[in-house]
Amino acid sequence: MRVPAEFADVEPLPEINRSLKTRDRGEAEAQCAIMRAALINDWRARRAGKAADARAIFDTSVELLKSWGMTFTPMDDLLTGPMDELLSRIETIASIDPNSAAVPAALGAIDLPDACLDEMAERMPVLKEADIRAKNARQRREWCGNFKRAAKDFRAQVGERTILTISEQNAVDYEDFWKKRARTGAVTTNYANKQIRYVRQMIDAHFDDIRLPKSKRTNVFDCMGVEKLSYDPSDNERKKLALPEEWVCQRLVRDRVLEGLNQEASDIAIIEAICGCRASEIYDLPEEDIHLDAPIPHIMLQVVLEGENRRELKRKSTSRAVVLLGPALEAMRRHPKEFTRYRGRLPTRVM
């Protein structure tokens, strides 16, 4: 096999010749394809090592081991595991170039990739792409911001740590920080538990990313959280009492008290108050979900997974048709296509 020019910096030989140890043409072709893939993975691993990129070294080494029919196992596990497994690996690499990346990879002598929480916060949209595919630009910004804020808070309270070096004591200290804030009323227990959960999710995402076996995973944030106080302000937050009907009819609709903001914000508030929708459900509406000419005028609140109009609802169960009546219908008729000022851009509240 001639060495591709792109790997000339890590392979000094212009050509690689190896015996396939078979006279059967079909078997030889299969072995040749496997050998070629193994060599390419080997060269990629060497290049990664030359660049001293721990993640690239690990990823290419894992792919290299796959081509040899092996999986990555840390050296400590090989030494304490079945002797046959270790001997089998040694026999496999016995005829391989000692400089090959397959040697340390097969013997588990490469480091697991590690990352600090700030790096993980940046990687979360990539690692969880399938989970956030329905979020629009605004929803993605808010989702990403949760992890960035949690990483920043962790660094401020505990210090810079990488995922694999976060200790149980670090987790206890971070939990205690949020317990104190909740007890003083600075935040609700619901908010505090979210911040702890975001860190736990980033750790789990890293374990998934490096394909760490389940038996080897220890997330020190498992089962951690802030207990609910006997009186918690978040209880009132969840109730969200309805606006007084008289105020809605006379002040919001008749007197248009919010038009001092702008027409769109005022109309969003009117529809929200009369129809019982969340503000984001209204201002994220695309034109195709606004049905003003239907026999019964309504809007459709639903999850959209693809395209520029994709969006996610807070809960799947909230997908529904909302009938527009009276002032809500009038407000929606003023914006028959969409709320251009806010759609996909606004934070959670419009007022």
Query: Domain range spanning residue 86?
Result: 5-106
Q: What is the pLDDT of residue 345?
A: 64
Same domain, 121 and 102: no
**3 state SS of 142:** helix
Two tokens at 38? 């193994």
Residue 342 in any domain: the answer is: no
Lowest mean pLDDT among 59-68, 156-165, 334-343: 59-68
Same domain, 250 and 309: yes
Same domain, 225 and 122: yes
Residue 270 in any domain: the answer is: yes
Q: Which residue has the tokens 């009819």?
A: 249
Regarding predicted confidence, which is higher, 191 or 49?
191
Residue 341 in any domain: the answer is: no
Q: Is the pLDDT of residue 148 over 90?
A: yes
Regarding predicted confidence, which is higher, 155 or 279?
155
62 touches 108 (CB < 8 A): no
Taking the C-alpha atoms of 122, 126, 132 and 134 in order, what is their torsion angle to the nearest 10 degrees? 120
Tens of pLDDT, residue by residue over 256-314, are: 766 666 788 888 888 888 888 888 888 888 888 899 999 999 988 887 777 776 777 77
Phi, psi for 220 (deg, rounded to 5)? -65, -10
Residue 251 in any domain: the answer is: yes
Tens of pLDDT, residue by residue over 55-109, are: 777 777 777 777 777 777 777 778 888 888 888 888 877 777 666 666 777 887 7
Q: What is the pLDDT of residue 22?
A: 67
The beta-carbon contacts of 138-147 under 8 Å, at least 24 apart in sequence, are 138/284, 138/344, 138/345, 138/346, 138/347, 139/311, 139/312, 142/347, 142/348, 146/194, 146/198, 147/120, 147/121, 147/198, 147/201, 147/202
Rg of the Cα atoms in the chain: 29
Same domain, 226 and 296: no
Q: Is the pLDDT of residue 136 over 70?
A: yes
Tens of pLDDT, residue by residue over 18-41, are: 665 667 766 666 556 656 666 666
* Residue 207 to residue 269: CA distance in whole angstroms: 44
Q: What is the pLDDT of residue 82?
A: 86
Q: What is the pLDDT of residue 145?
A: 95
pTM above 0.85, yes or no: no
Q: What is the pLDDT of residue 318?
A: 77
Q: Is the pLDDT of residue 320 over 70?
A: yes
Same domain, 34 and 55: yes
Q: Is the dihedral of CA 331, 337, 338, 340 positive or negative?
A: negative
**Where a domain ends, among 61, 86, 106?**
106
Residue 348 in any domain: the answer is: no
Burial 69-95 (b: 16+ CB within 10 A, else e): ebebbbeeebeeeeeeebeebeeebee
76 touches 54 (CB < 8 A): no
Residue 74 in any domain: the answer is: yes
Q: How confident is the prediction for the chain on average, in pLDDT? A: 80
Same domain, 128 and 223: yes
Q: What is the pLDDT of residue 45?
A: 60
Q: What is the count of structural domains for the chain?
A: 3
Same domain, 96 and 133: no
Residue 339 in any domain: the answer is: no
Same domain, 101 and 121: no
Q: Which amino acid, residue 319?
A: S
Q: What is the pLDDT of residue 331?
A: 87
Tens of pLDDT, residue by residue over 10-19, are: 666 677 666 6
Residue 293 in any domain: the answer is: yes
Kind and range of the H or E element at 289?
A: none
Q: What is the pLDDT of residue 350?
A: 44
Regarding predicted confidence, which is higher, 119 or 243?
119
Same domain, 124 and 225: yes
Q: What is the pLDDT of residue 351?
A: 42
Same domain, 219 and 279: no
205 touches 128 (CB < 8 A): yes
Tens of pLDDT, residue by residue over 212-267, are: 888 888 999 999 999 886 666 555 555 565 666 777 777 777 767 666 667 888 88
